[in-house]
Chain A
Amino acid sequence: MKNHIIVVLLISLVSCTNSYWSDGITTEINLPNHVSQISATVIIEQGAIGFSALVSASSSLDSQTGPDVIEDAVISVMSGDNTLYNLDANHFDSRSLLYNSSLSSLVSIPNDIPNGQIDLIVSSSNYEEVYATSYMPEKPSPVINYSPEVEVDSLYDGSLLEITDQIELSLLNNLDLDESYLVEINAFFLDVQSQEIEQRNLDIYSQDPRVRELNINSNSSDMDDEYNSRYSLISDETVSNIYNGLENITFFITRDEKPSYYEFQYMICRISSLSPSLAEHYNSVDSYLNQSGSPFAEPDLMYSNISSGFGCFGMMNTYEEQLN
C-alpha cells in the first residue's frame, strides 16, 4: 500500500511540473554491435503430456521485429548418456511458434523424468550452442485442511474482496534443499443449461511471510489480448533452517459471484514443487515486470540458467487433491 501511495503522489507532483518538457529532447545513443544469442525456455512438468520449448534469438534494441524465433533448433534433454527427448524442426509448430515434444508423436505419453541431473542442449546452425542443467523435484506430499466459510463473518484477509473459504497447508521442509511451491485452486461448476463442466481458477491470498504473490502479465506485442496470471509461491528461503518451517500456511479463497444456473461441484487444489531454477525464473520475471516502465528503475537482467544465452530450463512436479 505504501508503495502505491508514494508512486501516485510522486507522479502527481512530477506531472504538475513537466508539461513544458513533455516531449523531451533527443540524444542519439551509440549502441554496440549486437551478437545474437540463443534464448531457450523449457519447462517440463512431470506427468503432463509433453512440454513446450521456446527458442529464439536475442535482438538489438534497434531491431524492428524484436527477438526472432529459431525454427531449425535441435533441443536435447538428457539424463546422463540417455536421451530423453530430442526435438527438431519436425516438432516446431508454426502457429504457436513453439517446439512441442508431443507434436509428431501418435501416442500421448506422460512425461516421466528420472531422478538426478537432467541436461539441456540447444543448438542451431547460426548460433553458439547453449547448455543448462536442472532436476525434477519430488512430488509434494502436503497436508491440506479445508475450512469452508459457512457464515459470512468468520474470516477476513485485509482486502476489499469478500472471503469465503480457507485452506491451511503443511509441507515437509527438506533442510538440505531449496524448495518452492506454486499453489492454485480450481473450482468446477456444472452449467445446468448446457450440462457441461466449467472450470474456474479461484483467487487466493495469503499474508504469510513464506508466501509471495506474483503478478505476471505478458508484455509481448504478439499477444492479442492482455494475458496475465496471479500466482502464490511458497518458499522455504526464510525458514531454511527450521525443521517444521513450512507448516500451517494459511490461504484465503475468494469466489466470484456466478450465475444461478452454475452449480458448484468441487474444488481441486494443485501444489507444484519447482526446481530451484524454475522458482528463480518465476520470481525474476515477476520482479522484472513490476519494475519495468518506471523512469527511475534501472533495466535489470532476468534470471537465466542458460549458459552463453538466455532463458530458463526448469522442472515441476504437481500434486492434486480434491477439496470436499
Chain B
Amino acid sequence: MRYSFFLFTIVLSLTVQAQKNFTLSGHVQDESSGEQLIGATIYAKEVNTGVGSNIYGFYSLTLPANSYTILVSFIGYNTQTFEIDLTKNIRKDFNLTAGLTLKEAIVTGEEFNRIEDQVQMSKVEIPIDQIKRLPAIGGEVDLLKALQLMPGVQSGGEGSSGLYVRGGSPDQNLILLDGVPLYNVSHLFGFFSVFNADAVRNISITKGGFPARFGGRLSSIVEIHMKDGDMRDYHVDGTVSLISSKLTVEGPIVRDKASFMISGRRTYIDLLLNPLIQNSANNDPNITVDPRYYFYDLNGKLNWKISPSDRIYFSFFNGLDDFGINFSENLEESSLNLDLGLDWGNKVQSLRWNHEWSPRLFSNLSLIRSKYNFNTGADATYGFLEPNTNLSASARYAALYVSQIEDIGAKLDFDFSPNSRHYIKYGINYTNHTFLPGVDSSFATFSIEGAPLDTVYSSSGGAVETKSDEIFGYFEDEFEVFDGLNVNLGMHAAALFVDDTSYISLQPRVSFNYKLSQDYALKLSYAKMSQFVHLLSNEGVGQLPTDLWVPATRNVKPQLSKQVALGIAKTFGDIELSIEGYYKSMDGLLSYREGADFMFSADSSWVDQVTQGIGNSYGAEFLLQKKKGKISGWIGYTLSWSNRQFDEINSGLWYPFTYDRRHDLSLVLNHKINDFWDLGLVFVYGTGRSLTLTESSFETYVLDQSGENIIPIIGQVPSSKNAYRLSPYHRLDISLTKSKLLETGQRDLIFSAYNVYNNVNPFFALIREDENGNAVLREFGLFPIIPSIAWRFKF
C-alpha cells in the first residue's frame, strides 16, 4: 500500500513538472564511423545536470526553458561544447571525434559523470582498447579473462574462463551478447571465451546493486555489445597469432543509413599439433591415429537507420568446438575403425527495433533466439576374416548423445525521461525455454559376406524434453531526492511456469548515492534476485561443455539471493577509487550429492543425483583504476569469504566453497612508451582453492557372485569438505607491442609471455607417498612459461 502511494506521488510530480520543460534528445556517435557511444555524458553546465546515453546511444535531457552550454563527453574522445537555446524540444545528434586530450578530459562535463556521481555501484567497465593491450596466452586476447582481473571476479583456476563473482558459481552470471543470453561461453574446455574482442564495442560487469531491468541470475550481469558497423567507411581488422586467426570487416551498405559488421575467428591448434601426435602414435604401420580439434566463431551484425526515429539491428553469433579422434588398425585377418567425437556450440540471433516515440520516450523491441547444444558420439566397425573358410564378417556399433537448451523470446523496454530529476525504465520480457538434458541413441548391426545377419537393434532413452515459460516485468526510476542524494528504486517481478508448477518472485531493488562532498560519495544498495535455471557442474573440475542446464521443477526449486553492498567512491583527476563491502545470502543452490557421478548419463534421474542447500559470501573490494593516458590500468584487491551448507553434504555442516579465495590481487599496467612501443603487464595473486583430501582408510568386503568368497575393498575416509587448500596461484604476464603507422593503416607486432617466471600453478592435486613413505600432496600445473607472437593489422 505504502509502495503504491509512493509510486503515485512520483508519477504525479512527474506530470506537474513536465509541463514547464523542454527536451534535448538524440544520439551520441563516433564522427568517423557513426558507431553509437554507450554511456556518453550530456551535461548542462548552468544547472549542473546531465544524463548518460543508453546502450543504443540515445539520450534525453529535459530542462526548464532557457539557454544552456551543453558539454558532451566520452572516454577516449574529445569533449565538445554546444550552446543551445532550449525554448522548444530539440533533436540533436552529437558526433564526437576520437582523441586523448588530457586537459579537455578534466573539464566540467567529465566532472559530472564520475564514479561518485553515479547511482549504480558494483559495476566495472574496461575499455576494449585497454583489453586489447593486455598480455594474453598465445596472443589471443580474451574478454572474460580481462574481467577476471577485476576485484570481486575470480577465475576458476588455470586456464578457466568461468567467472566466480562475489562467491557465486559460473551459472549465476547472466552473459548478454547484444541482449541475448548465452549459456556456454567457453572454447577449448574453458581456456578461451567465445568472445572475439575485434567484434566487440563495449563490455561491463555488474556485481551488485542490480537495477530492476536485470534478472534471472544471482551473481552478475555481463553486458557485451557488438560493434554496429562503420556507417561511413570500410575497415578491415585482423590478427594472426600462434593459436588462431581472426578477421573483421565492417562498412556501409548505404552511407549513413545502413552498415554491416562481420567478424570470424578460427583456431588451428589441430594443424599445428596433429603431425606431432600422429608421428608419436603411429610407430606401428598397421595403426593410424588421427586426432582433431578446432574451434571457430562468427559474429555478424546489420544496422539500418530507417528514419531519424527508427532503427533496426540484426545480430547473430555462431560458435563451435569440435574435438575428436579416429583410430584404425588394419591386420591381415581383422580390421578395426573407431571414431570418437564431441562437439558443442552456440547459435544466437536477435532482431531489435529502436523507436523514439517522443523526445522523452524511447523503446526497444527485441526478438531473440539462443541455442546451445552438445553432442558426443562413437562409431566402431570391426571386420573379421575367418582363415579356414575365408568367410568375412563385420560388426558395427554407433552411439550418439545429444543435450541442448534453446531460448526463444521477446522483450520490450522503455526509457522515459519526464524531467531532469527522473529517469524511468520499464519493460516486459517473455522467454520460452526448451531443455533437453540428454538423450542416448544407439544401434548395432552384424553381417556376413556383406549381408545383414543379426537384427539391427536401436535403443533410445534419456531425459524427456522439458519446456518452461518465463516472464518478467520491471519498473525502475532513478531520481534525485534532494541535492546530493540520488536513488534508483525499482521492482522486478518474475514468474516461471514449468510442467504443473509455477514460481513467482518479487524482487525489490534499491541503490543510493550520497555525495559526502564534491569528491566523495557514499553508496548503498540492496537487491533480491532469483534464478530459474541451474547448471549441473562438478566443482572440482569447473565448467565443462558436458555441464547440463536444467530448469527449476516441482522437486528442484529456484535459486534466490539477497545482497547488500556499501561503498565509497572518489575520483582523483583521471583515477577512480572504489572501496566496497558486500554481504550476499543464497538459497536453492544445487550440488551433486556425495558420491554422485558428475559424468553420469543424465536422464530422468538427474534429480536423484542432486541436492539443494544454502550459501553466503561476504567481503571487501578495492579498485584503483585509470582508464586513459600514457599509463593506464588498475590495482584490484579482494578480501572475501564464501561458504556453503547442504544437509546431505559434509554431514550438514557449513564448509568453504571450493572457490573461496581469501585474497585476490590483480595489478594491470599499460604503458604507451612512445608512438611505436607499448608495454603491457599483468600480475595476479590468489589464495589457492580449497579441496577435500583423504585422511584415513579402512577395510570392508562384498561377497562374490557365488556368495562363498569375499572380495576385500579398501575404503578412504575423507576430511571434512574443503578442509585443505592448494598452493597460492600467482603469475606474471608481459607483452610488448611494436606499432607501425602506414598510409594504408596500422600494423602491430605483439610479443608476449604468459607466466614469465614459470610458476607451477596447481591445476589438480593427488596424494602420493614421498621417499619416506609419508603422504604428501603433489600439485600439477598446466601452463609453463608460454612465449608467443602475434601480428595485427587494420586498414
Interface residues of A (CB under 8 A from B): 1-10, 12-13, 16-18, 20-21, 23-29, 31-32, 34, 37, 39, 41, 43, 45, 48, 52, 54, 56, 58-64, 66-67, 69, 98, 152-160, 184, 186, 201, 207, 209, 216-223, 227-231, 238, 270, 272, 281-282, 284-285, 287-292, 295-302, 310-312, 316, 318
B444 and A60 form a contact (CB under 8 A): no
> Can you list 14 A-B pairs with a CB-CB distance of less than 8 A?
A2-B401, A9-B325, A9-B342, A25-B727, A28-B776, A32-B695, A43-B702, A56-B699, A153-B455, A201-B706, A218-B711, A296-B541, A299-B693, A302-B700
Q: Which residue of A lies closest to B778 (CB)?
A: A24
From 290 to 332 in chain B, residues with beta carbon under 8 angstroms from any chain A beta carbon are 291, 293, 323-325
Q: Which residue of A lies closest to B710 (CB)?
A: A52
Query: Which residue of the partner chain, among B444, B698, B783, contacts A58 with CB atoms under 8 Å?
Result: B698
Contacts A2-B376, A61-B695; is A25 near B764 (CB within 8 Å)?
no
Query: Which residue of the partner chain, among B401, B697, B702, B765, contacts A67 with CB atoms under 8 Å?
Result: B697
Number of A-B contacts (CB under 8 A): 257
A231 and B715 form a contact (CB under 8 A): no
Q: Which residue of A lies closest to B603 (CB)?
A: A209
Question: CA separation between A153 and B445, bound complex, in Å?
Answer: 11
One digit per residue, 1 when the CB lies within 8 angstroms of any chain A CB and 0 when it does not, for chain B 751-793 equals 0000000001000111100100111111111111000000000
9-residue interface stretch from B77-85, B414-422, B591-599, B625-633: B591-599
B714 and A310 form a contact (CB under 8 A): no
A29 and B707 form a contact (CB under 8 A): no
Q: Contacts of A301 on B, CB cut-off 8 Å?
A: 594, 715-718
From 532 to 574 in chain B, residues with beta carbon under 8 angstroms from any chain A beta carbon are 538, 540-541, 546
Contacts A61-B695, A220-B712; is A154 near B455 (CB within 8 Å)?
yes
Question: CA separation between A311 and B780, bound complex, in Å?
Answer: 33
- The count of chain B contact residues (Cβ–Cβ below 8 Å) is 89
Measured between C-beta atoms, what is the minimum distance from A281 to chain B in Å? 7
Q: Does B337 contact A (CB under 8 A)?
A: no
B442 and A29 form a contact (CB under 8 A): no
Q: Which residue of B lies closest to A96 (CB)?
A: B710
A1 and B442 form a contact (CB under 8 A): yes
Q: Which residue of A lies closest to B599 (CB)?
A: A3
Q: Among the interface residues B538, B696, B706, B711, which one has the most CB atoms of the partner chain A within 10 A? A: B696
Question: CA separation between A20 and B696, bound complex, in Å?
Answer: 31
Question: CA separation between A168 and B782, bound complex, in Å?
Answer: 51
B784 and A26 form a contact (CB under 8 A): no
Question: CA separation between A59 and B293, bound complex, in Å?
Answer: 45
Question: CA separation between A281 and B323, bound complex, in Å?
Answer: 38
Contacts A18-B782, A26-B776, A285-B702; is A300 near B595 (CB within 8 Å)?
yes
Question: CA separation between A24 and B438, bound complex, in Å?
Answer: 36
Measured between C-beta atoms, what is the minimum distance from A78 to chain B in Å? 22
Q: Does B273 contact A (CB under 8 A)?
A: yes
Q: Which residue of A lies closest to B706 (CB)?
A: A201
One digit per residue, 1 when the CB lies within 8 angstroms of any chain A CB and 0 when it does not, for chain B 198-216 equals 0000000000000000000
From 684 to 701 in chain B, residues with beta carbon under 8 angstroms from any chain A beta carbon are 691-701
A282 and B455 form a contact (CB under 8 A): no
Interface residues of B (CB under 8 A from A): 189, 273, 277, 291, 293, 323-325, 340-342, 376-378, 382, 395, 397, 399, 401, 438, 440, 442, 444, 453-455, 457, 459, 461, 538, 540-541, 546, 594-595, 597-601, 605, 691-707, 710-718, 721, 724, 726-727, 760, 764-767, 770, 773-784
Question: CA separation between A35 and B455, bound complex, in Å?
Answer: 59
Contacts A1-B401, A6-B599, A310-B700; is A220 near B342 (CB within 8 Å)?
no
Question: CA separation between A296 and B401, bound complex, in Å?
Answer: 23
Contacts A58-B717, A285-B700; is A27 near B440 (CB within 8 Å)?
no
Q: Among the interface residues A20, A45, A48, A223, which one has the most CB atoms of the partner chain B within 10 A? A: A20
A184 and B705 form a contact (CB under 8 A): yes
Measured between C-beta atoms, what is the minimum distance from B295 to chain A in Å? 13
Q: Contacts of A302 on B, CB cut-off 8 Å?
A: 700, 713, 715
Query: Which residue of the partner chain, among A154, A158, A287, contacts B597 with CB atoms under 8 Å?
Result: A287
Query: Which residue of the partner chain, among B341, B401, B595, B707, contacts A284 with CB atoms under 8 Å?
Result: B595
B702 and A158 form a contact (CB under 8 A): no
Q: Contacts of B538 on A, CB cut-off 8 Å?
A: 296
B324 and A59 form a contact (CB under 8 A): no
A300 and B594 form a contact (CB under 8 A): yes
A8 and B325 form a contact (CB under 8 A): yes
Contacts A26-B777, A227-B711; is A34 near B696 (CB within 8 Å)?
yes
Question: CA separation between A284 and B595, bound complex, in Å?
Answer: 8
A287 and B595 form a contact (CB under 8 A): yes
A3 and B600 form a contact (CB under 8 A): yes
Question: CA separation between A297 and B598, bound complex, in Å?
Answer: 9
Q: Contacts of A69 on B, CB cut-off 8 Å?
A: 699
Question: CA separation between A100 and B784, bound complex, in Å?
Answer: 57
Measured between C-beta atoms, what is the minimum distance from B425 to chain A in Å? 44
Question: CA separation between A14 and B641, bound complex, in Å?
Answer: 31
Question: CA separation between A79 and B541, bound complex, in Å?
Answer: 48
